[in-house]
Structure 1
Amino acid sequence: MEFTMRLRKIPSRTKNDEIIATNNKSSKKRKKSSSFVCRRCVCSGFQTSVFDFPPVWSEFRKKSQLCDGLVKCEDGTEFKIHRAILAAVSPYFKALFTNSINRDQKEANEARISIPADMFQIVLDYAYTGSCNITKSNVKDLLKYADQYQILDVVQLCCNFLMDELCPANCLEILKFASQYFCKDLIEKGKLYIRHNFPRLLKDSYEFYNIPSHHLEAILKDDELNVKTEETVFDAVKMWICYSPLKRKVHLSNLVKCIRLGTLTYDSVLEISRWHLIDENAECKEYLQDVLAVLGGLNQDDDVDYIHNYLFRPRIPFTVVFAVGGWSAGSPTNFLETYDSRADKWLFSCDTDSSPRAYHGLCNLNGLIYMIGGFDGNEYFNTVKCFDPVHHKWSERSCMYYPRCYVSVVVHHGKIYAMGGYNGRTRMNSAEKYDPEKNQWELIPPMQKQRSDASAGTVQDKIYIVGGFNGQEVMNSAEVYDTVTRQWSFISQMNSARSGVSLVSFHNTLYAIGGFNGYTRLASGEKYTPDVSDGWTSISDMLTPRSNFATVILDDYIFVIGGFNDRFVSGSTTINYVEYFDTESNEWFDAASMNVSRSALSACVVHGLPNAKEYTYLRASISPLGPGADCGNNR
């Protein structure tokens, strides 16, 4: 893989930079010339003005004209250069050529360097053009020599290249390399990548087996380590120890104490304690017996300090669920709850929007949460609100062409699609899409059927919508929109008519779950794989029948949240029950219930929030008065 790396502003790194920056404050900004290629300068990390790389520089270099210096590489290759240009990108060459160290000596015009000619050629490319060709095969050597000779912007470009190349197979190796050259940004990005991709790293990285014990211990202790269960942490310890058990078993006790065993069941911890290397280690064996004694003596009502007791302290999840609005106790709400999957707890958030809303759409695009359309009991909205979970701020976005409640919303290729719904007078077949960069909505071809209370999902380049209500009947029809041809067409009908249904796309298969068939709320679900299935096939029933509920994909499970239910009391009622579906085992399992019973809510997930802790159970350890402070009773 090969890239031509371009200029960008980087932070200063040396005292020489600061000296140069001070000198430049008095210099005037040059006017942009039409014959120059104008780019943002990164030749010096301090620079904030526009710097020009005139094509004539490359011409002088190519023809060896006006050269006033000579650089000799370790293999004997000589390069005629312009000292001022090379000094501009390197404090080392500036000091060398100007004799700023030995001021009583004449300025030097010749330098001998221990850089291979092919590496120095790339450095010169950057000095004269502001860009250089960085590849997988040259990036490590180039970074090493650029660091040695203080060509700081090339160092930064190499770091940026390696950041883009991070993957589970190479992240540990890149982190080790970055640490040798004190590349702070790359080190932080590498550590973050390791935390967030740890399970994949265990499968793909051979370098994991060579990681030093203290580095492994630091990784396993991290609150942000992205593991579904602490059994994954035990597996990591086991893999690392077993790679060289005679040498590494001395580290077993410290590593086992990194496992948050209190978050596991008694039986799981008992199974871990039976591993022969633990059984043979007196300190480990005693520690596990103490843990088992604590777990065995716990009652459900025991008061445990889950935040400050490391044994029970949950990790911070990589993915946070946001559930917004809905209908509760006979009126719309503006409640915002977040779900901490590692603690299996729902928490109120203070980040509520000012206006209650139900039957709206909700989606995550580029880390921002968009709330689309909806109904407040009086008004049908065409408005769009955007929530920034990093800065805890709501803002307005451009309105849709039409008011829409009971709207179906999906994200596809960086655009938001809003389809169908009810405008207060009629069920609609119109559809539109939103471009966040332009902050504009655009009408797209209408659906073939009028649909409100339907649900949509995406597979590859197509958008699917199923079920709904057309004003007279509950529907079982389904259709697909081809985003390339911009045409709607019908696909196989569902086995059951469903209004208030949820359609979920997971692993290129569509799952239509729950809903109302005109007589009762449904627990049933069915699935369809485009271009593979002949029709819809049944999946296992939910534990609780429901319609008008929220769904998200979390930890490779399908979660269903809240909704209407008519099984427990006469008529329908809102519920707070949450359950999740394992598509591999075709089974449903209970999860913690929300704090508030509600239907007509919407939910979405946000991945990799830098402030995820503020929306999780561990937020109490930040500040009781800070962002995400407790706004009510939390389950």
Structure 2
Amino acid sequence: MEHKISDTAFNVFDEVRLKGEHTDVIITVQGKHFKVHKIILCGCSPYFRMLFSTQWTNTEEQPYDIPGLSSDTMSLIIQYAYASPVLITEENVSELLVAADQFLISDLIDACCQFLEANLCPLNCIGACMLTERFLSCSKLHLKARLYVLQHFEEVLRVSEEFLELPLGHLEELIAQDELNVKKEEVVFEAILRWIGQAPENRRKHIALLLSKVRMGLMSPEYFMNDVRNNALVLENEACSDIVINAMKVIFAPYIEEPASSELINQLTRPRLPSEILLAIGGWSLSNPTNEIEAYDARADCWVNVTQEDELPRAYHGSVVLNGFVYCLGGFDSNNYFSSVRRFNPITQTWQEVAPMYERRCYVSVAVLHGLIYAIGGFNGYRRLKTAERYDSKTNQWTMMAPMNERRSDASATSLQDKVGGFDGAARLQSVEAYNPLNDSWHDIQSMIYPRSNFGIEVVDDQLFVVGGFNGMGTSCDVEYYDRMTNEWDEACDMRISRSAVSCCVISGLPDVTQYVVDRDSLQTSEDESDGD
């Protein structure tokens, strides 16, 4: 039979401690004295076991001075040793983690790491990354905090004062990474200027080192000439001269006789890795449903084939992302209407069948709300549906909901709440309307470049992408996106195949996105080969 010390016993020990009874050691921190029991501290900390080992038989209360931490933190450590609840807060977590590491209290280290991870945000992620770098026991949290900084870099720049206090080496390492999530390299250059501006006399000498990490070949020529080349810090630093000349060779390559080397071009035009991946799944292509899955690499503006051969063709289905998994619901394969649901793990790139819906549904609208997947309306092969059901991934069960007032299918929804395109029975539409829930009204926004129906739709980098579809003549492979800041549509790279009835979803937060993007090292080689054709 296993015996453990009960909570009641620890409560008694703590009560005795607070009364100063039977204590045998005094811990002094910042002039404050804590009378405690050696055996209790030894029970939670190898540090104290070693500290007390040489004078264990001494019956007098031996004083020990502990430097390097506050009395409040020592009080929390003692509370923890006596199994009392310890409240971890944003104010005390840093010093508590340092103390827990010093005293080798692994459970308290884990508790501090869990608190920091649960509360990671743009305001504190740099501090968490810097703090955990020192501790081997916090290596997993350090990697997560570092990845958070990289993936939320633009948000961090907007709100974090910690960014301005970054040591030079850490800033250099961050902006050199492929994983740095920025839409434009101009953001990186302006971040450097802001960092230097915090302490210009001490930091201006570092402009050349930091500028060399900016991928200036991805900048617009106008911005480079006006804001980079003519910047006062750049002009005053001689070491920047060669960096600027090399960048001009790449940016203005068509007009320069001496071509830049492939290595230099790759260094200055190598796209960063996207933090979000747009997937175009299945659809109708060449008069048949397809199983092809393409991933859109927004930073390189290209599509990558990530098809899994064991996946069956389907079109007119719905897809959503929940808890890191891609769910494909219903659909049609030219013979059968599906109620089946397939789940894709983007990390292992494997498919799994989960519980089917109650109804067969193609043209189904799908959404995620509060951790549940909703399947709404659609067509079952006989009639349009007004039924709806929801799926709980925790129980792997579907539940029927109250039906809609009207039968609906072929509907779409996005997180921006835009209603885009459609089919009115006679002509494909390219007009776009947006709904404002604050005043319960619709208003027109800029029309799409091309009319289409049965297209895929999703939001990537806060831009609305429409993918493929039917243009009245046939299926399309073209892609365009809407930027609500400029109220304009622009064209993106075409998909590899034409298709309509395609379903799209976005996956984010992948530990390794390289499975879904073009190989950065092969980009320049491919361009050189195509230039020679």
Same fold by TM-score greater than 0.5: yes
CA-to-partner distance for each residue in 1:558-588, whole Å, 9 max, x for gaps? 111110101xxxxx31001111111232211
Deviation at 1:155, TM superposition (A): 2.5
CA distance in structure 1 between the partners assigned to 2:57 and 2:127 by the alignment = 45
Contact 2:377 2:384 in 1 (8 A): yes
- Distance in 2 between the 1:443 and 1:303 partners? 63
Which residue of the partner structure matches residue 611 of structure 1? 512
SS in 2 for 1:536: strand
* Aligned residue identity for 1:281: N
TM superposition shift of 1:376: 0.6
**Cα distance change on mapping 1:285 and 1:76 into 2, 3 Å:** closer
* Stretch of structure 1 that moved more, 159-168 or 112-121: 112-121
**How far 1:127 moved relative to its partner?**
2.6
CA contact (8 A) 2:311 2:351 kept: no
Give yes or no for the alignment of 1:30 onto 2:2: yes
Question: Which of 212, 218, 227 lines up with 2:167 in the alignment?
Answer: 212
Deviations 1:527-566 (A, max 9, x none): 1112413x32211110010111111111111111110101
Matches within 5 A, 1:103-182: 106=57, 110=62, 112-114=64-66, 116-129=70-83, 131-181=85-135
Instruction: Report Cα offsets for 1:15-70 as digits up to 9, x if no partner.
Output: xxxxxxxxxxxxxx827xxxxxxxxxxxxxxxxxxx76533222232245995643
Which aligned runs of 4 or more in structure 1 are off by greater than 6 angstroms? none
Residue 489 of structure 1 corresponds to which residue in structure 2?
Answer: none
Instruction: State the Cα deviation string for residues 265-298 of structure 1 (Å, max 9, x = none).
Output: 3333223212222233333233212321233224
Uncovered stretches (5+) of structure 2, i.e. residues with no partner:
523-529
**Equivalent of 2:390 in 428, 433, 449:** 433
Instruction: State yes or no: 1:264 paired with 2:228.
Output: no
CA-CA distance at 1:315 after TM superposition? 0.6
Q: Could you say which residue in structure 1 is the equivalent of 2:192? A: 237
2:516 is the counterpart of 1:544: no
Does the 8 Å contact 1:273/1:285 carry over to 2?
A: no
Matches within 5 A, 1:539-578: 539-566=445-472, 572-578=473-479
Q: CA deviation at 1:116?
A: 4.9
CA distance in 2, matches of 1:297, 1:80: 74
Matched, 1:598 2:460: no
1:424 to 378, 381, 384: 381
Distance (Å, rounded) in 2 between the aligned partners of 1:353 and 1:514? 33
- Equivalent pair of 1:306/1:312 in contact (CA under 8 Å): no
Segments of structure 1 that go 5 or more residues without pairing to the other structure are: 1-28, 32-50, 456-502, 567-571, 622-632
Taking only the aligned residue pairs, the percentage that are identical comes to 39
Query: Which of 420, 423, 430 is 1:523 aligned to?
Result: 430
Distance 1:53 1:310, change over 3 A: farther
Closer, same or farther: CA 111–320 of 1 in aligned 2, 3 Å: farther
CA 1:111/1:165 → structure 2, altered by over 3 Å: closer, same or farther? Answer: farther
Secondary structure of the 1:77 match is strand
Q: SS of 2:141's equivalent?
A: helix
Amino acid at match of 2:11: S
Of 5, 13, 16, the residue aligned with 1:60 is 13
Taking the aligned partners of 1:423 and 1:126, their CA distance within structure 2 comes to 60
Residues 61 and 81, structure 1, Cα contact 8 Å, conserved in 2: no
Which residue does the alignment assign to 1:78? 34
Could you say which residue in structure 2 is the equivalent of 1:579? 480
* Whole-angstrom CA distance in 2 between matches of 1:403 and 1:162: 45
Q: Secondary structure at the match of 2:352?
A: strand
Amino acid at match of 2:424: N
Residue aligning to 2:526? none
The amino acid of 1:560's aligned partner reads V
Q: Post-superposition shift, 1:427? A: 0.8
Name the CA distance, whole Å, in 2 between partners of 1:430 and 1:305.
58
Where does residue 285 of structure 2 map in the other structure?
A: 328
The residue that corresponds to 2:42 in the other structure is: 87
Q: Tell me which amino acid in the other structure corresponds to 2:121.
A: C
The alpha-carbon distance between structure 1 residues 59 and 246, as it changes in their structure 2 partners (threshold 3 A), is closer
**CA contact 1:225–1:315 (8 Å) conserved in 2:** yes
8 Å contact 1:53–1:128 — kept in the other structure?
no
Per the TM alignment, residue 235 of structure 1 is displaced from its structure 2 partner at its CA by 0.8
**Aligned equivalents of 1:291, 1:116: Cα separation in 2:** 52
SS in 2 for 1:96: helix
Is the alpha carbon distance of 1:449 and 1:107 closer, same or farther for their aligned partners in structure 2, counting shifts above 3 Å? Answer: farther
* Aligned counterpart for 2:236 among listed residues 275, 280, 294: 280
Which moved further from structure 2: 510-519 or 172-181?
172-181
Structure 1 Cα separation of the partners of residues 210 and 70 of structure 2: 44
User: Quick one: which of 318, 339, 345 aligns to 2:275?
Assistant: 318
**178-187 vs 360-369, which deviates more?**
178-187
Q: Which moved more, 1:410-419 or 1:276-285?
A: 276-285
Structure 1 Cα separation of the partners of residues 349 and 330 of structure 2: 21
> Does the CA-based 8 Å contact 2:47-2:104 persist in structure 1?
yes
Q: Return the offset for 1:352.
A: 4.9
For residues 295 and 515 of structure 2, the distance between their equivalents in structure 1, rounded to whole angstroms, comes to 10
1:130/1:322 CA distance change after superposition, 3 Å: farther
Displacement after TM superposition at 1:313 (Å):
1.0
**Once the two structures are superposed, what CA deviation does each residue of 1:292-314 show, in whole Å capped at 9, x if it has no partner?**
12332249xx9995999211211
Q: Residue by residue, what CA displacement relative to the aligned partner does 1:495-514 show, whole Å, maximum 9, x if unpaired?
A: xxxxxxxx3232xxx21111
CA distance in 1, matches of 2:408, 2:349: 34
> Which one-letter code corresponds to 2:437 in the other structure?
P
Q: Which has the higher helix share?
A: 2
Cα distance, 1:244 vs. partner? Answer: 3.3
Question: Is the 1:307–1:314 Cα contact (8 Å) retained in structure 2?
Answer: no
Query: Could you say what the CA RMSD is over the residues aligned between the two structures, in angstroms?
Result: 2.7
Cα distance between partner residues in 1 of 2:261 and 2:332? 42
Q: Which residue of 1 aligns with 2:345?
A: 388
Cα offsets for 1:61-100 (capped at 9, x unmatched) = 22459956434333343333360x422211112223444x
Distance 1:612 1:53, change over 3 A: farther
CA distance in 2, matches of 1:247, 1:303: 34
Cα 1:288–1:522 change in 2 (3 A) is: same
Aligned position for 1:467:
none
Distance 1:587 1:245 in 2: 39
Provide, for residues 343-380 of structure 1, a one-character-per-residue CA deviation record: whole Å limited to 9, x for no partner. Answer: 01111014355200100000111111000000111111
TM-aligned CA distance change 1:184 to 1:200, over 3 Å: same
Partner SS for 2:439 = coil
The amino acid across from 2:118 in the alignment is: D
- 1:243 deviates by 3.1
Contact kept, 8 Å, 1:307 with 1:618, in 2: the verdict is no
1:157 Cα deviation from its structure 2 partner:
1.8
2:415 alignment partner, SS class = strand
Which residue identity lines up with residue 328 of structure 1 in the other structure?
A: S
Question: Greater CA deviation, 193-202 or 127-136?
Answer: 127-136
